[in-house]
């Protein structure tokens, strides 16, 4: 097992770090440190284009589609340096980490050539149309319908919690295309342009003041027959593969961001004296241990030869990092004490650590809740009997 990076990988790290440093202390200095998903969208769109022009946008993709053929280790290194440099959160995270890999895995050559380069160039942003009011954990219960009319698919229904739809150009939609079908059968995975009369995006305002996600309505929306990934009725397989990308490899590199957050908690504890509290000290040390364990776990996954080994380990990874970060959010707010309840500015002027607390509540929900992850580990990793499924209506 190799717990570290080779000299070539370290050289790659130096190249990436130098480029990021140049951009983020130069033309994009104003974006440094932005972690909010919704802040400065126009400037972050420009940043996506800049990344694309320098071919740093989707480095794991084949060169033919705008990537660099980067190895998994190089992708992790780039993401680490990205966080270390304080680069802004990716406005096209869903296009780059979810839609793109799924198109690579399931798309025809025509679809790859048409859809991937605009993502790599930072020109087309994507969002995820999975959840509905009665289809979250039970995603197979989706009610959104689609049917063929001439050369188009026509779509009717409603999605909810669609992150960043207000900035997106495309949405991938899990829709029922076989009338009368139930559960995972009869679903299709459709790619739909947002800017059309049949699609309405309505932002949902959160307690943070942000409107990070939306309700998305499809009222006779249309997409070309060519915009289906996989075969009609096979959408479940595509949708599950995408969730594998969402829960697994794409999150391996987050730890540099976590390091920054834990360091901010430690700085605050030292500054306000909370670090003298024996229980806070215990929790800080525990957080440090958890972070190091995740780091070694990630390095082990990287040295595991890729493919199935990464996927099996990744089943446990989502629940591990999400629970760790939620605890870090709780620690942050306890370190702040009463100050954590007071806004730092007008309106929703939350500080960095209060924001960490609020956002980290979502980590154990999106991409599959902790309970759902445990079911998946029980069934797929441990071979336990499937969860009993009664008719819950
Ligand atoms: C920040 C954020 C961003 C999101 N972005 C998107 C997005 O861009 N696109 C999108 O489509 N969706 C998005 N979602 C929605 C997300 O996928 C759902 O919230 C998630 O799948 C859970 O579904 P639900 O909210 O309907 O909860 P429910 O499924 O109603 O679950 C409620 C509770 O019941 C538990 N539960 C449910 N079923 C079981 C079971 N079988 N066994 C044990 N416990 C169970 C759950 O764990 C949970 O605690 C986002 C959510 C969040 C928080």
**pLDDT value at 349 more than 80:** no
Residues 232-250 have a mean pLDDT of 86
* CA 162 – ligand 1 centroid, Å: 12
Which residues, at least 6 apart from 60, have a Cβ–Cβ distance to it below 8 Å? 67, 68, 69, 70, 72, 74, 75, 101
Q: Is the pLDDT of residue 3 over 90?
A: no
How far, in Å, CA of 206 to CA of 134, rounded?
Answer: 20
Cα 369 to ligand 1 centroid, rounded to whole Å = 6
What is the spatial distance between Cα 265 and Cα 259, in angstroms, rounded to a whole number? 10
Residues with Cβ within 8 Å of residue 214, at least 6 apart in sequence? 161, 162, 163, 165, 166, 201, 202, 203, 204
Lining ligand 1 with CB less than 6 A are 127-131, 136-137, 159, 161-163, 213, 362, 365-366, 369, 371-372, 375, 387
- Which H, E and C letters describe the chain, residue by residue? CCCCCCHHHHHHHHHHHHHHHHHHHCCCHHHCCCCCCCCCHHHHHHHHHHHHHCCCCCCCCCHHHCCCCCCHHHHHHHHHHHHHCCCCCCCCHHHHHHHHHHHHHHCCHHHHHHHHHHHHCCCCCEEEECCECCECCCHHHCCCEEEEECCEEEEEEEEECCCCHHHCCEEEEEEECCCCCCCCCCEEEEEEECCCCCEEEEEECCCCCCCCEEEEEEEEEEEECCCEECCCCEHHHHHHHHHHHHHCHHHHHHHHHHHHHHHHHHHHHHHHCHHHCHHHHHHHHHHHHHHHHHHHHHHHHHCCCCHHHHHHHHHHHHHHHHHHHHHHHHHHHHHHHHHHHCCCCCCCCCCHHHHHHHHHCCCCCCCCCHHHHHHHHHHHHCCCCCCCCCCCC
Atom 30 in ligand 1: residue holding the nearest Cα? 136
> 10 Å Cβ neighbour count for 338?
6
Closest listed residue to residue 340, CA positions, set 257, 268, 267? 268
Task: State yes or no: pLDDT of 243 exceeds 80.
Answer: yes
How far, in Å, from the CA of 247 to the mean position of ligand 1?
Answer: 14
The confidence band for 250, taking pLDDT boundaries of 50, 70 and 90, is: low
Nearest atom (ligand 1) to Cα of 367: 17
State the pLDDT confidence band at 297, using cuts at 50, 70 and 90.
confident
The alpha carbon dihedral of 36, 163, 160, 254 has a sign of negative
Q: Name the CA dihedral angle for 60, 65, 68, 70, rounded to a multiple of 10 degrees.
A: 20
- Between residues 97 and 341, which one has the greater pLDDT? 97
Pocket test for ligand 1, best of 93, 99, 131, 367 (most atoms within 8 A of CB): 131
CA of 365 to the centre of ligand 1 (A): 5
Instruction: Compute CA 116 distance to the chain's CA centroid, rounded to the nearest angstrom.
Output: 18
Ligand 1, atom 44: nearest CA belongs to which residue?
371
Q: How far is the CA of 250 from the centre of ligand 1 (A)?
A: 19
- pLDDT 10s digits, 276-293: 999 999 999 999 999 999
Cβ neighbourhood burial of 184 (10 Å; 0-12, 13-18, 19+): middle
Residues 6+ apart with CB under 8 A from 170: 95, 99, 124, 125, 126, 127, 191, 192, 193, 194
The pLDDT value recorded for residue 367 is: 87
**In this predicted model, what pLDDT tens digit does every residue of 173-224 receive, in sequence order?**
999 999 999 999 999 999 999 999 999 999 999 877 889 999 999 999 999 9
Between 379 and 246, whose confidence is greater? 379
Q: Which of 141, 356, 365 to mutate to test the pocket of ligand 1 (most atoms within 8 A of CB)?
A: 365
- pLDDT, residue 50, reads 98
The model's pLDDT over 191-200, given as tens digits with 9 standing for 90+, comes to 999 999 999 9
pLDDT above 80: residue 111: yes
The residue whose CB lies within 8 Å of the most ligand 1 atoms, and thus the one to mutate among 90, 92, 102, 136, is 136
- Residue 182 CA, distance from chain mean position: 28
Q: Delimit the domains of the chain by residue range.
A: 7-91, 126-232, 247-381
Ligand 1 center–CA 121 separation, angstroms: 31
Atom of ligand 1 nearest to the CA of 138: 29
Pick one of 1.20.140.10, 3.30.830.10, 1.10.287.90, 3.30.360.10 as the CATH number of 247-381: 1.20.140.10
**What's the pTM?**
0.93
Nearest atom in ligand 1 to the alpha carbon of residue 163 is 8
Task: Tell me which residue of 27, 31, 30 sits closest to 19, measured CA to CA.
Answer: 27
293 in Cβ contact with 258 (< 8 Å): no
Distance of CA 45 to the CA centre of its chain: 17
Residue 311: pLDDT band with limits 50, 70, 90: low
> What is the share, in percent, of the chain residues with pLDDT greater than 90?
75
> Please, what CATH class does the domain formed by 126-232 belong to?
mainly beta
| Atom number in ligand 1 closest to CA 127 | 8
Position in ligand 1 atom list of the atom nearest CA 133:
26
Query: Is the per-residue pLDDT at 306 higher than 70?
Result: no
313 pLDDT more than 80: no
pLDDT tier at 1, thresholds 50, 70, 90:
low
Supply the residues annotated as catalytic: 246
User: By percentage, how much of the chain surpasses pLDDT 70?
Assistant: 93
Looking at residue 317, what is its pLDDT?
Answer: 84
| Average pLDDT score, the chain | 92
Nearest CA to ligand 1 atom 41: 372
Q: What is the pLDDT of residue 248?
A: 65
Q: What is the pLDDT of residues 119-176, one digit of tens each?
A: 999 999 999 999 999 999 999 999 999 999 999 999 999 999 999 999 999 999 999 9
Supply the residue whose CA is at minimum distance from atom 32 of ligand 1: 137
Task: Give the nearest ligand 1 atom to 131 CA.
Answer: 11
């Amino acid at each position: 097992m190799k717990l570290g990076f080779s000299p070539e990988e370290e050289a790659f790290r130096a190249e990436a770090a130098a480029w990021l440093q140049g951009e983020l202390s130069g033309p994009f200095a104003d974006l440094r440190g932005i972690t909010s998903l919704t802040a400065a969208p126009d400037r972050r769109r420009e940043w996506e284009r800049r990344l694309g022009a320098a071919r740093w946008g989707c480095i794991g993709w084949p060169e033919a589609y705008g990537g660099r053929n980067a190895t998994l280790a190089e992708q992790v290194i780039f993401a680490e340096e990205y966080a270390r440099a304080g680069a802004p959160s990716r406005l096209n995270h869903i296009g780059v980490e979810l839609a793109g890999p799924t198109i690579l895995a399931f798309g025809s050559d025509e679809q790859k050539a048409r859809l991937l380069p605009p993502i790599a160039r930072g020109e087309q942003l994507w969002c995820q149309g999975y959840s509905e009011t009665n289809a979250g954990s039970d995603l197979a219960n989706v009610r959104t319908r689609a049917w063929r009319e001439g050369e188009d698919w026509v779509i009717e229904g409603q999605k909810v919690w669609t992150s960043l739809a207000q900035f997106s150009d495309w949405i991938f939609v899990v829709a029922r295309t076989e009338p009368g079908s139930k559960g995972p059968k009869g679903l299709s995975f459709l790619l739909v342009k947002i800017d059309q009369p049949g699609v309405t995006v309505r932002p949902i305002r959160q307690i943070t003041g942000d409107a990070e996600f939306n309700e998305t309505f499809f009222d006779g929306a249309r997409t070309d027959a060519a915009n289906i990934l996989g075969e009609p009725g096979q959408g479940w397989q595509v949708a599950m593969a995408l969730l594998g990308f969402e829960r697994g490899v794409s999150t391996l590199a987050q730890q540099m961001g976590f390091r920054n957050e834990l360091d901010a908690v430690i700085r605050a504890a030292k500054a306000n004296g909370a670090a003298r509290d024996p229980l806070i000290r215990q929790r800080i040390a525990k957080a440090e241990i958890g972070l190091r364990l995740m780091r070694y776990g990630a390095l082990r996954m990287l040295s595991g030869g890729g493919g199935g080994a990464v996927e099996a380990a990744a089943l446990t990874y989502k629940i591990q990092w999400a629970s760790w970060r939620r605890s870090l959010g709780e620690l942050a707010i306890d370190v702040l004490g009463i100050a954590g309840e007071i806004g730092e500015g007008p309106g929703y002027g939350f500080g960095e650590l209060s924001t960490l607390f609020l956002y980290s509540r979502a980590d154990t929900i999106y991409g599959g809740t902790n309970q759902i992850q445990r079911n998946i580990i029980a069934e797929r990793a441990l071979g336990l009997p499937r969860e009993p499924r009664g008719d819950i209506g």
